[in-house]
């Protein structure tokens, strides 16, 4: 049995202050960080709550009935999220992903989607607007999400065997309802749909082939994610990580695969296709194959902190600026300066620093708080 690590400090309380730069950083869409990486992808966590207790993300022992979730007043309002998103788009963001926690638990999420869908990129186009969900509420919400302007969804599903899946989500949630959610999303036009499966050796690795068989020829892109050492509560151990190369070999032995080129710079998944035309699969290898070199993702936490890396221990407090009456130009300037100072590349450094460290030293925040 893996030893559970219970956090002694609440990392959400720590914040780096976001200051207004002496010299304005104009939003030109050409922003680059210290390693020359642009800002293209914004992930917004809209709630830190979830109705699942996946052991790799929100283990029951920590996220129990006494766990203190953020009070409503500290959450960014929809208007605040939209105001910030507008500045990120001015700096070159092309894609916005809503996440959490479980984003579909945030009340009236469709209202936020409508507001975000009305924004424009620097080129005057609609941003790509997508959402990652555990699928539990999708059957009920797919049509209203589409009507509000959501373009696509990514659904997390860790297996097809009902017993394994119920154990993974740890709230006894049945597979069938997630599959219904995926079907509803497809019927509503929320595609192309992606399905994410976290592979944990010893827990659900025997689900790799059933999942591959199920989603081949479906038009849905199945992506296998290496179990990551995010946060500080999941008791992560390297021997529970099943490297993507192993998952790929397993599939390739039954259904030969051919490599595909990356479709966009900074893409998280390595893309492969079934040689027989059965569609595409992806591998997200953030443990065994670091991909920080072109990481163009920023994360906005539920309470408005800007995180420059999934493994960061601190975020920059944009909410204080927002609520302090800062102008849009000043907000853009502050975001620009923070991004210009970014040098994070945790996955590349993991091997030298060891998995227990955070990108900037200190304890890492939980994935449910900053979003995946």
Applying CB under 6 A, the site for ligand SF4 has a residue count of 24
Of 78, 215, 224, 311, the one binding ligand SF4 (CB under 6 A) is 311
**Residue 227, binding choice from ligand SF4, ligand SAM, none, Cβ under 5 to 8 Å by partner class:** ligand SAM
Residue nearer to ligand SAM on the CB measure, 288 or 320: 288
Instruction: Give yes or no for residue 242 binding ligand SF4 (CB under 6 A).
Output: no
Tell me the residue number closest to ligand SAM, measured at CB: 372
Which residues, numbered 279-298, are part of the site for ligand SF4 (CB under 6 A)? 286, 291-292, 295, 297
Q: From residue 33 to residue 52, what is the string marking binding to ligand SF4 with x (rule CB under 6 A)? A: -----------------x-x
The two beta strands, 305-307 and 280-284, are unpaired
- Contacting residue, 112, 193, 230, 306, with ligand SAM by CB under 6 A: 230
Among 87, 151, 207, 234, binds ligand SAM (CB under 6 A): 234
Q: Per CB under 6 A, which of residues 177..196 are in contact with ligand SAM?
A: 196
| Nearest residue to 169 (alpha-carbon basis) of 272, 266, 59, 89 | 59
If DSSP states are collapsed to H, E and C, what string results for the chain? Answer: CCCCCCCCCCHHHCCEECCCCCCCCCCCCCCECCCCCECCEEEEECCCCCCCCCCCCCCCCCCCCCCCCCCHHHCCCHHHHHHHHHHHHHCCCCEEEEECCCHHHCCCHHHHHHHHHCCCCCCCCCCEEEEEECCCCHHHHHHHHHHHCCCEEEEECCCCCHHHHHHHHCCCCCHHHHHHHHHHHHHHCCCCCEEEEEEECCCCHHHHHHHHHHHCCCCCEEEEEECCCCCCCCCCCHHHECCHHHHHHHHHHHCCEEECCCCCCCCCCEEEEECCCCCEEEEECCCCCCCHHHCCEEEECCCCEEECCCCCCCCEEHHHHHHCCCCHHHHHHHHHHHHHCCCCCHHHHHHHHCCCCCCCCCCCCCHHHHCC
Structure tokens at 130: 């997508």
Rule CB under 6 A: is residue 232 a binding residue for ligand SF4? no
Residue span binding ligand SAM (CB under 6 A) among the ranges 6-14, 22-30, 213-221, 364-372: 364-372
Map the footprint of ligand SF4 across residues 73-102, applying CB under 6 A. Answer: 100-102
The whole-angstrom distance between residue 232's C-alpha and the CA centroid of its chain comes to: 17
By beta-carbon proximity to ligand SAM, the closer residue of 53 and 342 is 53
Locate 240 and state its tokens.
Answer: 């529970």
CA angle centred on 60, ends 54 and 63, rounded to 5°? 100
309 counts as binding ligand SF4 under rule CB under 6 A? yes
Is 277 exposed, middle or buried (CB count within 10 Å of its CB: 0-12, 13-18, 19+)?
A: exposed
Stretch in the footprint of ligand SF4 (CB under 6 A) among 121-129, 144-152, 247-255, 339-347: 339-347
For residues 94 to 113, the per-residue mask of contacts with ligand SAM, x marking binding by CB under 6 A and - elsewhere, is: -----xx-x-----------
Report, in Å, the least distance between residue 276 CB and ligand SF4.
32
347 binding ligand SAM? (CB under 6 A): no
Smallest gap from Cβ 321 to ligand SAM, in A, equals 26
Q: Per rule CB under 6 A, is residue 368 in the interface with ligand SF4?
A: yes
Interface residue with ligand SF4 among 18, 27, 46, 58 (CB under 6 A) is 58
Instruction: Establish if 173 lies at the interface with ligand SF4 (CB under 6 A).
Output: no
Looking at the Cβ atoms of 302 and 333, the one nearer to ligand SAM is 302
Tell me the chain's radius of gyration from C-alpha atoms: 20
346: contact with ligand SF4 by CB under 6 A: yes
User: Which residues would be at the binding site for ligand SAM (CB under 6 A)?
Assistant: 50, 56-57, 99-100, 102, 132-134, 156, 196, 198, 225, 227-228, 230, 234, 367-368, 371-372
Residues at the site binding ligand SF4, with contacts judged by CB under 6 A: 50, 52-54, 57-58, 100-102, 134, 156, 286, 291-292, 295, 297, 309-311, 344-347, 368
């Amino acid at each position: 049995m893996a030893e559970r690590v219970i956090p002694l400090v609440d990392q959400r309380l720590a914040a780096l202050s976001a200051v207004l730069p002496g010299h304005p950083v104009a939003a030109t869409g050409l922003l680059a960080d210290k390693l020359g990486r642009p800002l293209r992808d914004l992930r917004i966590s809209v709630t830190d709550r979830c109705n699942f207790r996946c052991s790799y993300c929100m283990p029951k022992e920590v996220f129990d009935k006494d766990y203190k979730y953020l009070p409503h007043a500290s959450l960014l309002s929809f208007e605040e999220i939209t105001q910030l998103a507008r500045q990120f788009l001015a700096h070159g963001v092309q894609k916005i992903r809503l996440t959490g926690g479980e984003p579909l638990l945030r009340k009236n999420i469709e209202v936020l989607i409508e507001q975000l869908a009305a924004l424009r990129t620097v080129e005057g186009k609609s941003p790509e607007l997508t959402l990652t969900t555990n699928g539990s509420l999708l059957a009920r919400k797919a049509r209203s999400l589409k009507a509000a302007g959501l373009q696509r969804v990514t659904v997390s599903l860790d297996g097809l065997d009902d017993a394994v899946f119920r154990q993974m989500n740890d709230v006894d949630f049945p597979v069938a309802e997630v599959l219904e959610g995926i079907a509803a999303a497809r019927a509503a036009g929320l595609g192309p749909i992606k399905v994410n499966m976290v592979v944990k050796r010893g827990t659900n690795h025997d689900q790799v082939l059933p999942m591959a068989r199920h989603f081949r020829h479906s038009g849905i892109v199945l992506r296998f994610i290496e179990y990551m050492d995010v946060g500080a509560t999941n008791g992560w151990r390297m021997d529970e990580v099943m490297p993507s190369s192993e998952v790929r070999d397993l599939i390739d032995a039954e259904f030969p695969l051919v490599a595909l080129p990356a479709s966009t710079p900074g893409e998280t998944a390595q893309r492969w296709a079934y040689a027989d035309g059965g569609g595409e699969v992806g591998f997200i290898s953030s443990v065994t194959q670091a991909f920080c070199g072109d990481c163009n993702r920023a994360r906005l936490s539920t309470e408005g902190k800007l995180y420059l890396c999934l493994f960061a221990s601190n975020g920059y407090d944009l909410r204080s600026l927002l609520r302090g009456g800062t102008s849009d130009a000043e907000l853009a300037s502050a975001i620009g300066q923070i991004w210009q100072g970014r040098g994070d590349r945790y996955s590349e450094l993991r091997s030298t620093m060891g998995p227990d460290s955070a990108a900037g030293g200190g304890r890492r925040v939980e994935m449910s708080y900053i979003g995946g």
